[in-house]
Structure 1
Amino acid sequence: MTKFTDLELDPKVLKAIAEAGYEEPTPIQAQAIPHALQGRDVLGIAQTGTGKTASFVLPMITLLGKGRARARMPRSLVLAPTRELAAQVAENFDTYARHTKLTKALLIGGVSFKEQDKLIDRGVDVLIATPGRLLDHFERGKLMLNGVQIMVVDEADRMLDMGFIPDIERIFKLTPFTRQTLFFSATMAKEIERITNEFLTAPARVEVARQATTAETIDQHVIEYSPSRRDRAAKEKREVLRALIDQEGEKLTNGIVFCNRKSEVDILSKSLKKHGYDAAPIHGDLDQSLRTKTLDGFRDGEIKLLIASDVAARGLDVPSVSHVFNFDVPSHSEDYVHRIGRTGRAGREGRALTIAMPADEKYLKAIEDLLQREIPRMESPYNPAPTRSRSKKATEADTAPAPDAAEDPGKPPARRSRRSAAKTAAPAKAEPAPPAAEDAAPKAEAQPKPEEKPKPAARSRGRGKKGGEDKRRQDEVVGMGDHLPSFIAMSFEERMAG
């Protein structure tokens, strides 16, 4: 079994490792560190939680043991996709470089430029930064990268997801061609492979696990749930999560709940707090000081449930996370690997539970295709009481017997169209009134009731001219010339008598 003492690291580094309680390196560390100490470029591919950070921090401290940094010209550069991951690298550097005189600077957003400029002006051996903030300092003329001897790109696939690849290519071109490059990623997309072919020179490829695999120590399950009604889907989904948390009981010491959207993070966090759960949100829109405070509280055990967006899927180094809940199935299958990689770290057992709705079927299939295996299903602990849907009520109303038309033939039933009402009333008009005697029948048929007589017929008789449709159409055109329409000369009484 390989030990850290077998890796030819600086004695000061070995002392710090022993004080941290480590004796044996992880597989990625055991394979990557020797190549890095030889000055070779390294392409490391390993699942999250396997110790990639120490794979480049330990040899970097050893290689930088000799030499001195100059103002505004860092000797090494570490690029990380998120503030949290950059802060984690800085913590690792502080742990393993405690017995050396090496200096570092952390360049991330949400922190004053002035304080960061002071550190750069003094000269730093290790510069840890996110791509955007690094380029901000460079464009302000506060930083030069032509003295970089070692360059590290961590979580390169996450860089691709966040759109940092153009920035990474630009930074590569600002550094010397003779630099040593250590490139680490959990997956190898085509764009990542293109960059490694362009900027790495004969790299030593270190792959300790199949690409996009999950740790065997993680117990994974999918809870498939169909809401009782579409308008209740969001509410019932939160109830499913609460039922899962309650079901885990004492086995849940702490956990991370992942959502796809920042807005959902805030909604879910407030809902859990309302129901008495110890939860706090973290996402990219929060102030950096609040994000740091929340993470520290989670690490210290003051916060039991961390509700997070994918900004926290990588870069959270909390070894004892017992559970990961995927409140939303990730739309990118690789994100599933990184999310559940927050649990089951360093050989510990972990549990990952994913809530899948019917609309998530295609995303779930993509995840299983990536893992090349089916994730076991688990029955939902939440079973709501059946509710009477509106559609059922509407169906009962539609199938109810209609009122008898003979009761009120002149008034159509409620919610009927005018056309339906006309069809109902038509037979009543066509049926003649019963005659008082036999000789009155012809007169009743020839003489309709006054109230049923159409008004256009009365107008045509009042004109004293030819009746009929043609004459009515002509008289309907009203002008102010020599022609005076006959109805204007009629009195109101004459028109009503007609």
Structure 2
Amino acid sequence: MSVALTPPVSPASPVASFAELELPAAVLRTLTERGLREPFPIQAATLPSALAGRDVLGRGRTGSGKTLAFGLPLLVRTAGRRAEPKRPLALVLVPTRELAQQVSEALVPYADALRLRMATVVGGMSIGRQTAALRDGAEVVVATPGRLHDLIERKACRLERVRITVLDEADQMCDMGFLPQVTEVLDQVHHDGQRMLFSATLDREVDQLVSRYLHDPVVHSVDPSAGAVTTMDHHVLVVHGPDRYAVTTEIAARDGRVLLFLDTKHAVDQLTRHLRASGVHAAGLHSGKSQPQRTRTLAQFKNGQVTVLVATNVAARGLHVDDLDLVVNVDPPTDPKDYLHRAGRTARAGESGRVVTLVLPGQRREVSQLMAGAGIEAKTTKVRSGEAELSRITGAKAPSGTPLDGGPAAPRAKNTNTPFRGLGTSKDTSRGTGGKSRKATEARKLAEARKAARVRRGG
């Protein structure tokens, strides 16, 4: 069964401002203090229905404002009630730790204004502290499926009093294999409760969740994909294989922040070391890092201490950074959906942004098919390190070359005629750093020996 993304016959009318909604004065005051007066389209469309207690099925591009679209109704409709120990009243289920933390950070000011207690339940953090937070009583819980399942198994959390349940990025939870845990949760919450499902895409097992758990939902689809965002530019840069690291390094050395996506944890760590050895303030993010490390890295990227975030797809959702205007696929994604979610890290909330994908000549056809599947029209350009065209598109420039962590500086191309070979090269190191051949080196040594001999002979 496929979800028909058309509104019901009589949806609540969209609103033009938050003031039109029957929100508590404390919430309106908090919105104003944070400079929010006019809702984004997904908020304008869904808030009236959600505040009225309707089940909601909402699709909006990542960065379109879904968190407040479900968060404000959840908090407002929970306000005034107190949770018993281990028995929350409202639940937000998300696929990743980063998204859980981002949702919590976004909702805490409004929860505080309504005197609601929140708990964030994710893996990689102290389960003892999370158990204590639930035992003390938390009206609202933001959780990842795996850790919530563990707490339920330990009898540290019970869900029968949860009357408002939100599934955010449900498609990713299904893609990650969490469908059994999600259905387990939905089977335990109050059967007459309100359910809201928000996602950038609605497909696959999500249809099962909608048909089984949402009752006569109000359906809204707003700004469905990155391909429809007019403030986002897409570029495919064709690079020569040996020059790929040099191109990446020069892009990373640009003024302003940049998010670089690679496929594997090893590649992330390798590139991060190289960039830091080149003088670029880079940090890596992947599932092999501890949660405190991941949290610290994201905080440093947001406050500007780190200008380059090198990441796997763990950062493709749930990452919001103001003024992030460039995303680079160093490794092209393998799935159109992955492309759209990576791209969604820029051009958020009406801002402009650029998405660049580096491809080798042999990858062009495959990447063209991926772009077509994502509904993206990208401009293709052949580039080399050090060229003005690369700088025009990405802001690339030569790195300082001064290592940030001590040790030797990373090798890099001196000009476009000596392509950078990247890390792990098996080429003869006797070439030296200036690009001279072994033959030239031997000729120089021979000339020096002859000169020394003449000096010894007195001539």
TM-score range, shorter chain: 0.7 to 0.9
Deviations 1:93-146 (A, max 9, x none): 112223221001111112112111111111111011100000000001111111
- 8 Å CA contact 1:334–1:367 kept in 2: the answer is no
Count of residues in Structure 1 that have an aligned counterpart in Structure 2: 376
Structure 1 distance, partners of 2:331, 2:228, is: 18
> Of the two, which has the highest radius of gyration?
1
Structure 2 distance, partners of 1:362, 1:240, is: 21
One-letter identity of the residue aligned with 1:352 = V
- 8 Å CA contact 1:329–1:363 kept in 2: the answer is no
Deviation of 1:83 after TM superposition, in Å, equals 0.5
Q: Which residue of 2 aligns with 1:301?
A: 304
- 8 Å CA contact 1:186–1:212 kept in 2: the answer is no
Q: Which residue of 2 aligns with 1:118?
A: 132
Q: Which residue of 1 aligns with 2:378?
A: 375
Q: Which residue of 2 aligns with 1:240?
A: 247
How does 1:266-281 map onto structure 2 within 5 Å? 266-281=269-284
Deviation of 1:163 after TM superposition, in Å, equals 1.5
Residue 103 to residue 386, structure 1, CA distance change in 2 (3 Å): closer
- Considering Cα pairs closer than 8 Å and 6+ residues apart, tell me whether 1 or 2 has the greater RCO: 2
Residue 363 to residue 201, structure 1, CA distance change in 2 (3 Å): farther
* SS of residue in 1 equivalent to 2:119: strand
Candidates 336, 340, 347, aligned match of 1:333: 336
One-letter identity of the residue aligned with 1:305 = V
Residue 101 to residue 375, structure 1, CA distance change in 2 (3 Å): same
Q: Which residue of 2 aligns with 1:164?
A: 178
Matched, 1:290 2:322: no
Deviation of 1:342 after TM superposition, in Å, equals 0.9
Q: Which residue of 2 aligns with 1:101?
A: 115
Candidates 232, 256, 259, aligned match of 1:218: 232
Candidates 203, 206, 212, aligned match of 1:198: 212
Structure 2 distance, partners of 1:106, 1:55, is: 19
Residue 37 to residue 277, structure 1, CA distance change in 2 (3 Å): same
Q: Which residue of 1 aligns with 2:201?
A: 187
Percentage of matched positions with identical amino acids: 37
One-letter identity of the residue aligned with 1:225 = V
TM norm structure 2: 0.79
Structure 2 distance, partners of 1:242, 1:133, is: 38
Structure 2 distance, partners of 1:79, 1:152, is: 6
One-letter identity of the residue aligned with 1:306 = L
- 8 Å CA contact 2:302–2:322 kept in 1: the answer is no
Structure 2 distance, partners of 1:123, 1:362, is: 55
- 8 Å CA contact 1:187–1:212 kept in 2: the answer is no
Q: Which residue of 2 aligns with 1:24?
A: 38
- 8 Å CA contact 2:186–2:213 kept in 1: the answer is yes
- 8 Å CA contact 2:226–2:343 kept in 1: the answer is no
- 8 Å CA contact 1:13–1:61 kept in 2: the answer is no
One-letter identity of the residue aligned with 2:368 = K
Deviation of 1:367 after TM superposition, in Å, equals 2.9
Residue 359 to residue 151, structure 1, CA distance change in 2 (3 Å): farther
The unaligned stretches of length 5 or more in structure 2 are: 1-14, 387-415, 420-459
Deviation of 1:65 after TM superposition, in Å, equals 1.3
Q: Which residue of 2 aligns with 1:89?
A: 103
Deviations 1:401-428 (A, max 9, x none): xxxxxxxxxxxxxxxxxxxxxxxxxxxx
How does 1:46-65 map onto structure 2 within 5 Å? 46-65=60-79
Deviations 1:258-306 (A, max 9, x none): 1111111111111111111110001111011111111111111111000
Deviations 1:375-433 (A, max 9, x none): 1112313284379xxxxxxxxxxxxxxxxxxxxxxxxxxxxxxxxxxxxxxxxxxxxxx
Matched, 1:3 2:1: no
Deviation of 1:356 after TM superposition, in Å, equals 1.3
The unaligned stretches of length 5 or more in structure 1 are: 388-498
Q: Which residue of 1 aligns with 2:445?
A: none
Structure 2 distance, partners of 1:296, 1:264, is: 22
One-letter identity of the residue aligned with 1:82 = T
Structure 2 distance, partners of 1:95, 1:378, is: 45
Structure 2 distance, partners of 1:78, 1:226, is: 46
- 8 Å CA contact 1:325–1:354 kept in 2: the answer is yes
Q: Which residue of 1 aligns with 2:448?
A: none
How does 1:457-472 map onto structure 2 within 5 Å? none
How does 1:278-427 map onto structure 2 within 5 Å? 278-361=281-364, 363-382=366-385, 384-385=416-417
Deviations 1:220-255 (A, max 9, x none): 11102242xxxx4xxx32112123345xx44xx111
- 8 Å CA contact 2:226–2:232 kept in 1: the answer is no
Deviation of 1:51 after TM superposition, in Å, equals 0.6
TM norm structure 1: 0.73
Deviation of 1:210 after TM superposition, in Å, equals 3.5
Residue 151 to residue 362, structure 1, CA distance change in 2 (3 Å): farther
Residue 378 to residue 361, structure 1, CA distance change in 2 (3 Å): closer
Structure 2 distance, partners of 1:331, 1:285, is: 21
Aligned CA-pair RMSD? 1.7
Structure 2 distance, partners of 1:90, 1:212, is: 25
One-letter identity of the residue aligned with 1:113 = I
Deviation of 1:369 after TM superposition, in Å, equals 2.1
Candidates 93, 96, 104, aligned match of 1:79: 93
Structure 2 distance, partners of 1:365, 1:175, is: 44
